[in-house]
Amino acid sequence: MSMKNTTVGNWFWGVIGWLIAITIFFPIFWMMLTAFKTEQGAYSPDLIFMPTLESFRDVFARSNYLGFALNSIYISVGSTLLCFLLAIPAAYKMSFFPTPKTQSTLLWMLSTKMMPAVGVLVPIYLLFKTVGLLDSVPGLIIIYTLMNLPIAAWMSYTYFCEVPAAILEAARIDGASLWDELWHVLRPMALPGLSSTGLLLIILSWNEAFWSINLTSANAAPLTVFIASYSSPEGLFWAKLSAASVLAVAPIMVMGWLTQKQLVRGLTFGAVK
């Protein structure tokens, strides 16, 4: 294989690689483009047009967009924090003071992820209805916390395992309390890993649509539910649908791109390295 041949080969496969990437990304690109069109212009496939923010203005003016966005933020951030609150102590115990039972505990935690949501939809709906959690932000926070807890525990566990135990031990010998040890010694070292875990949990909660559609309507509906409301005849307003979608998707996509490497660890529970 000569050098020249390899270059030509790389060029050829590069073009194929880019063509596929553009094809896959095209619906998203098209949505972004349509968001800057007028409602009349949205039906034409023009690539060159006068961009306008009209649809974005309409989305804010005609719907309580901010309310839905705030619900999304409350629910995803709230469930992520609660997840950490439950997961970090457990992960600390399991990684620094493992017992023979630790591995089966971890596996058991993961196995709770295997329950299909639809299998428990009816009882959760009835429970929530009985205790008044239906269509409430705390209700969805609880569900998403439980849904993501195994991932949070697992990822924190793997990150803690990478922290040198000797440093924590030195702190203990110097008389640091458990809190000091966790907050002043462990936290700074595990922070990069934990923040990417946090971003993954936010992404998962932000985009979750099974529970949000079934458990919320007017008060606690996040953006997934708001966008779903465009499936009615309003769906014909493409520019507004696109503008609302761009606002709902853009921040999460940036987060996803930033955390793509940790994503694999979180989504496969470390089964793929």
Partner 1 sequence: MSMSAQLPDAPVAPVVTPHTPPPDKPRGWLTFLMVPAVGALFLWMIVPLAMTIYFSFIRFSLLNPDVSGFAGFDNYLFLSQDSSFYPALVNTLIIIGSVLFITVVFGVLLAVLYDRDFFGKNVASLLVIAPFFVMPTVSALVWKNMIMHPVYGLLALGMRALGLPAIDWFGQYPLLAVIIIIAWEWLPFAFLILFTSIKSLDAEQKEAAAIDGANPFQMFFAITLPHLQRSIGVVVMIETIFLLSIFAEIYTTTSGGPGHSTTNLAYLVYSLGLQQFDVGIASAGGILAVIMANVVAFFLVRMMAQNLKGR
Site for partner 1 in 190-209 (CB under 8 A): 203, 206-207, 209
Residue 179 binds to partner 1 (criterion: CB under 8 A): no
Q: Is 96 in the site for partner 1 (CB under 8 A)?
A: yes
The residue among 154, 165, 155 whose CA lies nearest residue 97 is 165
Residue 218 interacts with partner 1 (CB under 8 A)?
Answer: no
User: Could you say whether residue 158 binds partner 1 (CB under 8 A)?
Assistant: yes
Judged by CB under 8 A, the residue of 4, 61, 175, 273 near partner 1 is: 273
Least CB distance from residue 147 to partner 1, whole Å? 8
Task: Report the residue from 31, 70, 73, 171 that binds partner 1 according to the rule CB under 8 A.
Answer: 31
Size of the site for partner 1 (CB under 8 A): 110
What is the smallest separation between the CB atom of 92 and partner 1, expressed in angstroms? 6
Burial (CB count within 10 angstroms: exposed 0-12, middle 13-18, buried 19+), residue 93: middle
The residue from 39, 67, 69, 105 that contacts partner 1 (CB under 8 A) is 105
Task: Return the number of the residue (61 or 114) whose C-beta is nearest partner 1.
Answer: 114
Query: Which of 137/265 has CB closer to partner 1?
Result: 265
The residue among 264, 139, 140 whose CA lies nearest residue 206 is 140
222-261 footprint of partner 1 as x/- string (CB under 8 A) = -xxx-xx-xx---xx-x--xx--x--xx--xx-xxx--xx
The verdict on 153 binding partner 1 (CB under 8 A) reads yes
| Among 78, 115, 66, 92, CA closest to 201 | 78
165 lies in the binding site for partner 1 (CB under 8 A): yes
Closest separation in Å from C-beta 104 to partner 1 = 8
CB 204: neighbour CB atoms within 10 A?
Answer: 20
